[in-house]
Chain A
Amino acid sequence: MSTRLGPAPAGEPAEDGLVGRHAEDGSAGTRGSVFALPARTSFRFALLIAAVAASSFTFYELIYMATPRGRAVVSRMRLCEAPAQAAQAKGLFAYASALHQASVCYSGAERTEAWWGLLGVGVLIAVAGAIFLAQPWWYRRRMHLSDLNGDGAAELMSRLEGVRQRAGTGPVVWLLQPLNTRLSAFAFGHPRRRFVAVSGGAAVAAVRKPAAFDAVILHELAHVKNRDIDQTYLALAIWRAFVVAALLPVVVTAIVTGDLAGFGWQRSLWRIAVLALIVYSLRNAVLRSREFDADARARELDPETQLGPVLAGLPARTGRRAWHLGWTHPQGQARAAALTDPAPLYRCRFWDGLAVGLVAAIGASAVREIVTLMTTTYGVRLLVPAVIFGAFAGAALAVAVWRNQLLEAGTSTIKGWAAGSGLGLGLAAGWIIALPHAFGPLPLAPDQLNPAAVGVLAVWTGLAVLVFTPFPVWVGHWADAWQQRADVTAPRVPARGGMVAAAVAAWVVMAIGLYLLLLSVTGILGGSSAASVWHQLPQSLRDMGFMITAQDGQVGGWVVCLVVVAMPFAAAVAHRQWRRSAEAHDAAVPHRRPLATALLCLAGCLTAVALTLAVSAATHARIAGPVRWSPDFVSRLVIFDEQAIVVVAVAFALIAAARARSARHVAICVAVGAAVAAAGVLALSNAGTIDRCFGSLSIQYTHPPTAGGCITSPDSAWLRQIVLGAALVSIVFVPAAHAAGILAGRRIRQARVPAGVKALGWLAAGIAVIAAVTGTALWGPAASAHGVEPAGSIGRDGWVRGDGYDIRLVPSWYALTQAGNPTRMIISFPSDGAAIDLLSLTAGNSAGITEYRNQLLRIGARPALLDGAPGLRIARSGLPQGILEQWFIVRGPAVYLITLHQAPAWPEDSPYFRHSLARMLGTWHWTNRVSELNRGATDPALAPSPA
Chain B
Amino acid sequence: MVDETAEIVRSVGFELVSRLAPEERPLYPSLVSQFQGARRGRGGKASSDDQLLGFGAAEAVTMLTPVILNFTSSFWQALVAEAARNSVHGVLECVKAHLPGRHEAAAGPPLTPGQLQLVRAVAEREARRLDISESQAGLLADAMVGVLTAPPVS
Q: Give the interface of A toward B (CB within 8 A).
A: 142-144, 146, 148, 150-153, 156, 176-188, 199-208, 216, 219-220, 223, 228-229, 232-233, 236, 287, 290-291, 294, 310-311, 313-315, 317, 326-329, 332, 335
Given A177-B47, A204-B61: A184 touches B30 (CB 8 Å cut-off): no
Find out whether the CB atom of A182 lies under 8 angstroms from the CB atom of B52.
no
- Is B45 part of the contact surface with A, judged by Cβ < 8 Å? yes
- Cα distance A185–B51 in the bound complex, in angstroms: 9
- Is B57 part of the contact surface with A, judged by Cβ < 8 Å? yes
Query: How does the 8 Å CB contact mask read for B52-63 relative to A, with 1 for contact and 0 for none?
Result: 111111111111
B56 contact set on A, CB distance < 8 A? 184, 291, 311, 314, 329, 332, 335
In the assembled complex, how far is the CB of residue A327 from the closest CB belonging to chain B, in whole angstroms? Answer: 6
- Cα distance A178–B34 in the bound complex, in angstroms: 10
Find out whether the CB atom of B26 lies under 8 angstroms from the CB atom of A181.
no
- Cα distance A389–B30 in the bound complex, in angstroms: 49
- Is B44 part of the contact surface with A, judged by Cβ < 8 Å? yes
B25 contact set on A, CB distance < 8 A? 150-152
> Would you give 6 A-B contacts (Cβ < 8 Å), ordered by A?
A153-B26, A178-B30, A184-B47, A184-B58, A186-B51, A328-B52
Find out whether the CB atom of B57 lies under 8 angstroms from the CB atom of A220.
no
- Cα distance A317–B56 in the bound complex, in angstroms: 10
A185 contact set on B, CB distance < 8 A? 54-55
Contact of A144 among B45, B49, B61 (CB under 8 A): B45
Query: Besides A152-B24, A204-B61, A287-B52, 13 other CB < 8 A contacts?
Result: A179-B45, A182-B60, A184-B54, A184-B58, A188-B52, A200-B27, A204-B24, A205-B61, A207-B23, A291-B56, A314-B59, A317-B57, A332-B57
Given A188-B52, A206-B23: A182 touches B58 (CB 8 Å cut-off): yes
Find out whether the CB atom of B55 lies under 8 angstroms from the CB atom of A219.
yes
Q: Write the chain A residue with the least CB distance to B61.
A: A201
Find out whether the CB atom of A314 lies under 8 angstroms from the CB atom of B58.
yes
In the assembled complex, how far is the CB of residue A157 from the closest CB belonging to chain B, in whole angstroms? Answer: 9
- Is B71 part of the contact surface with A, judged by Cβ < 8 Å? no
Pairs of residues from A and B, 8 with the lowest C-beta to C-beta distance, nearest first: A152-B25, A178-B30, A186-B54, A201-B61, A207-B23, A180-B47, A329-B56, A178-B27
B22 contact set on A, CB distance < 8 A? 152, 207
In the assembled complex, how far is the CB of residue A294 from the closest CB belonging to chain B, in whole angstroms? Answer: 8
Q: Write the chain B residue with the least CB distance to A149.
A: B26
B29 contact set on A, CB distance < 8 A? 146, 150, 178
Q: Write the chain B residue with the least CB distance to A294.
A: B53
Find out whether the CB atom of B55 lies under 8 angstroms from the CB atom of A184.
yes
Find out whether the CB atom of A186 lies under 8 angstroms from the CB atom of B23.
no
Q: Write the chain A residue with the least CB distance to B154.
A: A151
In the assembled complex, how far is the CB of residue A329 from the closest CB belonging to chain B, in whole angstroms? Answer: 4
Given A144-B30, A176-B27, A204-B23: A181 touches B60 (CB 8 Å cut-off): yes
- Cα distance A310–B61 in the bound complex, in angstroms: 13
Q: Write the chain B residue with the least CB distance to A148.
A: B26
- Is B76 part of the contact surface with A, judged by Cβ < 8 Å? no
- Cα distance A205–B62 in the bound complex, in angstroms: 10
In the assembled complex, how far is the CB of residue A396 from the closest CB belonging to chain B, in whole angstroms? Answer: 21
B27 contact set on A, CB distance < 8 A? 176, 178, 200, 203-204
In the assembled complex, how far is the CB of residue B50 from the closest CB belonging to chain A, in whole angstroms? Answer: 5
A313 contact set on B, CB distance < 8 A? 59
- Cα distance A678–B49 in the bound complex, in angstroms: 64
Contact of A182 among B26, B34, B47, B154 (CB under 8 A): B47
Find out whether the CB atom of B53 lies under 8 angstroms from the CB atom of A201.
no
Find out whether the CB atom of A329 lies under 8 angstroms from the CB atom of B61.
no
Describe B's contact surface by its main secondary structure: loop
- Is B75 part of the contact surface with A, judged by Cβ < 8 Å? no
Find out whether the CB atom of B60 lies under 8 angstroms from the CB atom of A208.
no
Q: Write the chain B residue with the least CB distance to A236.
A: B52
Contact of A188 among B45, B47, B53, B59 (CB under 8 A): B53
Q: Write the chain B residue with the least CB distance to A203.
A: B26
- Is B31 part of the contact surface with A, judged by Cβ < 8 Å? yes
Find out whether the CB atom of B57 lies under 8 angstroms from the CB atom of A315.
yes
Find out whether the CB atom of B53 lies under 8 angstroms from the CB atom of A186.
yes
Find out whether the CB atom of A199 lies under 8 angstroms from the CB atom of B47.
yes
In the assembled complex, how far is the CB of residue A45 from the closest CB belonging to chain B, in whole angstroms? Answer: 12
Name the interface residues of B11-27: CB closer than 8 Å to any CB of A: 21-27
B26 contact set on A, CB distance < 8 A? 148, 150-153, 156, 176, 178, 203
Q: Write the chain B residue with the least CB distance to A150.
A: B26
Q: Write the chain B residue with the least CB distance to A233.
A: B52
Q: Write the chain B residue with the least CB distance to A177.
A: B47
B154 contact set on A, CB distance < 8 A? 151
Q: Write the chain B residue with the least CB distance to A187.
A: B53
Name the interface residues of B31-49: CB closer than 8 Å to any CB of A: 31, 34, 44-45, 47, 49
B52 contact set on A, CB distance < 8 A? 186, 188, 232-233, 236, 287, 328
B30 contact set on A, CB distance < 8 A? 144, 146, 176, 178-179, 200
Find out whether the CB atom of A201 lies under 8 angstroms from the CB atom of B60.
yes
Q: Which of B23, B52, B59, B62 counts the most chain A CB atoms within 10 A? A: B52
Find out whether the CB atom of B23 lies under 8 angstroms from the CB atom of A329.
no
B31 contact set on A, CB distance < 8 A? 178-179, 200
Given A148-B26, A203-B27, A204-B27: A229 touches B53 (CB 8 Å cut-off): yes
B34 contact set on A, CB distance < 8 A? 179
Find out whether the CB atom of B47 lies under 8 angstroms from the CB atom of A179.
yes
Find out whether the CB atom of A208 lies under 8 angstroms from the CB atom of B61.
yes
- Cα distance A228–B47 in the bound complex, in angstroms: 22
In the assembled complex, how far is the CB of residue B30 from the closest CB belonging to chain A, in whole angstroms? Answer: 4
A142 contact set on B, CB distance < 8 A? 45
Contact of A208 among B23, B50, B51 (CB under 8 A): B23
In the assembled complex, how far is the CB of residue B27 from the closest CB belonging to chain A, in whole angstroms? Answer: 4
- Cα distance A152–B58 in the bound complex, in angstroms: 24
In the assembled complex, how far is the CB of residue B4 from the closest CB belonging to chain A, in whole angstroms? Answer: 22
A184 contact set on B, CB distance < 8 A? 47, 49, 51, 54-56, 58
Q: Which of A143, A148, A184, A186 counts the most chain B CB atoms within 10 A? A: A184
Given A150-B26, A208-B23, A329-B54: A182 touches B45 (CB 8 Å cut-off): no
Q: Write the chain A residue with the least CB distance to B54.
A: A186
Find out whether the CB atom of B55 lies under 8 angstroms from the CB atom of A216.
yes
Find out whether the CB atom of A204 lies under 8 angstroms from the CB atom of B63.
yes
A188 contact set on B, CB distance < 8 A? 52-53
Q: Write the chain B residue with the least CB distance to A307.
A: B55
- Cα distance A146–B50 in the bound complex, in angstroms: 20
- Cα distance A182–B49 in the bound complex, in angstroms: 9
Q: Write the chain B residue with the least CB distance to A143.
A: B47
- Cα distance A315–B49 in the bound complex, in angstroms: 11
- Cα distance A215–B10 in the bound complex, in angstroms: 33
Contact of A315 among B28, B47, B50, B59 (CB under 8 A): B59
In the assembled complex, how far is the CB of residue B26 from the closest CB belonging to chain A, in whole angstroms? Answer: 5
Q: Write the chain B residue with the least CB distance to A198.
A: B26
Q: Which of B29, B49, B154 counts the most chain A CB atoms within 10 A? A: B49
Query: How does the 8 Å CB contact mask read for B84-125 relative to A, with 1 for contact and 0 for none?
Result: 000000000000000000000000000000000000000000
Q: Write the chain B residue with the least CB distance to A146.
A: B30
A311 contact set on B, CB distance < 8 A? 56
Find out whether the CB atom of B23 lies under 8 angstroms from the CB atom of A203.
yes
Find out whether the CB atom of A201 lies under 8 angstroms from the CB atom of B55.
no
- Cα distance A153–B30 in the bound complex, in angstroms: 13
Find out whether the CB atom of A183 lies under 8 angstroms from the CB atom of B59.
yes
- Cα distance A156–B154 in the bound complex, in angstroms: 16
A201 contact set on B, CB distance < 8 A? 58, 60-61, 63
Find out whether the CB atom of A183 lies under 8 angstroms from the CB atom of B58.
yes
- Cα distance A141–B30 in the bound complex, in angstroms: 13
B45 contact set on A, CB distance < 8 A? 142-144, 179
B21 contact set on A, CB distance < 8 A? 204
Find out whether the CB atom of A328 lies under 8 angstroms from the CB atom of B23.
no
- Cα distance A57–B58 in the bound complex, in angstroms: 41
- Cα distance A332–B24 in the bound complex, in angstroms: 27
- Cα distance A202–B27 in the bound complex, in angstroms: 11
Find out whether the CB atom of A152 lies under 8 angstroms from the CB atom of B55.
no
In the assembled complex, how far is the CB of residue A285 from the closest CB belonging to chain B, in whole angstroms? Answer: 13
B50 contact set on A, CB distance < 8 A? 326-329
In the assembled complex, how far is the CB of residue B51 from the closest CB belonging to chain A, in whole angstroms? Answer: 4
- Cα distance A156–B53 in the bound complex, in angstroms: 21
